[in-house]
Amino acid sequence: MSTLRLLRATGDLADVDLNDLGAYVRPTGPLRSRVAYAAAHVVPKVHADNTPGQPADIDWDSTLAFRRNVYSWGLGVADAMDTAQRNMGLDAAATRELISRSAEVAREEGGSVVVGVNTDHVADSHISIEQVIAAYLEQLHFTEEQGAGPVLMASRHLARVATGPEDYRRVYREVLSRASVPVVLHWLGTAFDPELKGYFGADDWQSASAVLLEIIEENPDRVAGVKMSLLNAESEISVRSRLPEGVRMFTGDDFNYVALLAPAPAPAPAPAPASDSPSARDAAERTGSARTEAVPSTATRALGEDRGYSDALLGAFAAITPVASAAIQALDASDHARYLEILGPTEELSRQVFAAPTFYYKTGVAFLSWLNGHQPAFQMVGGLHSARSLPHLSRIVELANASLALEDPDLARQRWHGMLRLNGVDA
């Protein structure tokens, strides 16, 4: 059996067995039980000046082939969003071209694509509320013209100029009133972008979510869903339980998506004791018959009580597309145990990819894309491929192998060992 060489943070080396390819098959029809989008990254040209501050020079063949692969597994594509290095190397001109090209590929493949709408094409760091509205509308109308679904992203410009909740209500009211199709609202937390502190007019999620829900309730026909990326399951469940009928919750929680997508089925009710005598109560306590199964956290308890589920719009699903597809296919077959067996191990991998500083998670997504043969080199626009350490990437390799997320294990081994040798590590 082949082995993978791993590099620990201490500098020590370790070998683990290389697992076989996961026995996953592409679906023969649409996925039914969940709507799932993989937030896709971009691939630069190998010979381009992929250094900090340089314009993005995209390898369109590899970038669009990645999206075709996502469609082949039954998932949709979320494009021109954070995973595509929006505001971290993907400039305004490249963003527009990406939206146009990605929408064309979606039409060719019969896939579903949603794309980010923001105000980030405006170079000035501080603009007025009126200019924020105009900037949002400019990108919104361009997106609609391309035939892509709009995701109204959180705006740094709005976060800087807003003085309270009413400014958020005003901006979203004005923009939503001029949308020709329902949009998805994106609430991005400060772990992903520290400049969005206090979004929706409050630092705490409880107050901010109240404003978000007011915006939705005022415009129920204009909002298709909400993508929450706070890495906080409790906040997502709270908002999800209060959404108007027909408005979807798209989890952006790359730490807790397994339970958010498919909470455990409710346990069968415990049989009532024969009497309420002390002896009956004592027996129930000893056997556990009067209690539900213990759970590790308040968030997990809330998941069980909510009994609902989220759909998905996840950067993690770009890193584990075949595994995510197989897990949703298991849900389609009403096989919750198989769903957990497939997707459960990937959460530790995702937590490593999205480890703090979380905004560098794109490096892990591109790294796995390279390991899995979807791009010719481990390079990123803006030089972001240097944002994670070699031991950090080694842990990604280890967890991807353990969760059967390596699409071609032998190729991944070859590429990883070559990278180790390039960095002076014996492999």
Q: Is the peptide bond before 165 cis (omega within 30 degrees of 0)?
A: no
Instruction: Report how far apart, in Å, the C-alpha atoms of 338 and of each of 35, 330, 331, 335 are.
Output: 19, 6, 8, 5
> How do strand 13-17 and strand 248-251 relate by DSSP bridges?
unpaired
User: CB atoms < 10 A from the CB of 16, how many?
Assistant: 13
- Closest CA relative to residue 362, chosen from 88, 132, 10: 88
pTM: 0.90
Is 228 strand, coil or helix? strand
Widest CA span of the chain, in angstroms? 79
DSSP symbols for 370-404: HHTTSSSSS--GGGGGGSS-HHHHHHHHHHHHHTT
List the chain pLDDT tens, one digit each, 427 residues.
Answer: 799 999 999 999 999 999 999 999 999 999 999 999 999 999 999 999 999 999 999 999 999 999 999 999 999 999 999 999 999 999 999 999 999 999 999 999 999 999 999 999 999 999 999 999 999 999 999 999 999 999 999 999 999 999 999 999 999 999 999 999 999 999 999 999 999 999 999 999 999 999 999 999 999 899 999 999 999 999 999 999 999 999 999 999 999 999 999 998 866 565 554 444 333 333 333 223 222 222 233 343 344 445 599 999 999 999 999 999 999 999 999 999 999 999 999 999 999 999 999 999 999 999 999 999 999 999 999 999 999 999 999 999 999 999 999 999 999 999 999 999 999 999 9
Q: One-letter amino acid identity for 382?
A: G
Question: Are 44 and 324 within 8 A, CB to CB?
Answer: no
**395-400 long-range contacts, CB within 8 A, separation 24+:** 395/6, 395/352, 396/349, 396/352, 396/353, 396/364, 396/367, 396/368, 397/4, 397/6, 397/371, 398/4, 398/6, 398/16, 399/348, 399/349, 399/352, 400/349, 400/368, 400/371
In sequence order, the β-bridge partners of residue 17 are 3
List, in sequence order, the alpha helices (H) in 241-380: 257-261, 278-287, 298-306, 316-319, 321-332, 336-343, 346-353, 361-371
CA count, 13 A, side-chain hemisphere, 365: 28
422 and 385 in contact (C-beta within 8 Å)?
no
Q: Say how many C-beta atoms besides its own lie within 10 A of residue 122's C-beta.
A: 19
pLDDT of residue 265: 81
- DSSP character at residue 306: H
How far from 403 is each of 17, 34, 345, 372, 389, CA to CA, in Å? 13, 21, 5, 14, 21
What stretches of 74-148 adopt beta strand conformation (E)? 76-79, 113-117
Side-chain-side CA neighbours of residue 398 (13 Å): 16
> What pLDDT is recorded for position 274?
46
Residue 225 makes CB contacts below 8 A (sequence gap 6+) with: 184, 185, 247, 248, 249, 250, 311
